[in-house]
Amino acid sequence: MSANAATLTAARLRARTGGPDDGPKLLEHIAGWTLVVVVAMLVTQLGLL
């Protein structure tokens, strides 16, 4: 079995659970939602809603 075929086979056998694949994307997601919450708090405090 060639190295390329072994890599493809290993990729197919890996279980996909729907969880995060790596740290930076998770960090971006958390930072984005934190920004949303901060803007919502600011809008509420200023009485713009």
Q: What is the pLDDT of residues 11-37, one digit of tens each?
A: 666 666 776 566 688 889 999 999 999
Q: Is the pTM of this model over 0.75?
A: no
Q: What distances in angstroms separate CA 10 from CA 15, 17, 19, 33, 35, one per listed residue?
A: 10, 16, 18, 34, 38
Give the confidence band of 43 by pLDDT, cuts at 50, 70, 90. Answer: very high
At 1, the pLDDT band (50, 70, 90 cuts) reads low
Residue 46 belongs to a domain: yes
Integer Cα distance of 4 and 14 in angstroms: 16
- What is the predicted pLDDT for the residue at 18? 72
Q: Which domain holds residue 40?
A: 22-49
Residue 40: pLDDT over 70: yes
13 occurs within a structural domain: no
Q: Give how many domains the chain has, as a whole number.
A: 1
Contact 49, 43 (CB under 8 A): yes
> Dihedral, CA atoms, 40, 28, 12, 2, nearest 10 degrees?
170
In a domain, 34, yes or no: yes
